[in-house]
Amino acid sequence: MANFAGRMKQLRQEQKMSQQELADRLGISRSAVGMYEQGRRDPDFELLDAIADLFGVDLSYMLGRSDVRGSYPKHGTPAAPDPEEAAILEAYRKAPEDVRRLVLYALRLKP
């Protein structure tokens, strides 16, 4: 499993976000982002929580304690789907109606 520094860098790069863009969104300096990604510094709990919320992941995932990205979104904001979930959703949206009904039935979302 990854550690916090690796996860932060991975998530930032997946979003095609520069260190400066992430810093601006979090209200911190670019050098602080760099130090977090190098493992030379750790954020306080409030900032860690804000980073996890920004990327739509659970704190356990952010800390490298779990490989499950799941999140319990705050304030009604949906968590960003991971790449596999996004591909499934896209395929579902493009599927014919009869296939979508079968998917819902298989997932027990519709009788």
- Give tens-digit pLDDT for 53-105: 899 898 888 988 888 887 555 544 555 667 787 788 888 889 999 998 888 88
Taking CA 53 as the corner, what is the angle to CA 11 and CA 36, rounded to the nearest 5 degrees?
50
Cβ atoms of 111 and 98 within 8 Å: the answer is: no
Structure confidence at residue 68 (pLDDT): 82
Cβ atoms of 25 and 54 within 8 Å: the answer is: yes
Give the end-to-end CA distance of the chain in Å, rounded to a whole number.
Answer: 39
Kindly report the pTM of this predicted structure. Answer: 0.62
- Give tens-digit pLDDT for 8-54: 999 999 999 999 999 999 999 999 999 999 999 999 999 999 999 89
CATH of domain 4-62: 1.10.260.40
- CA dist 35 and 26 (Å) reads 14
Structure confidence at residue 29 (pLDDT): 95
Structure confidence at residue 72 (pLDDT): 52
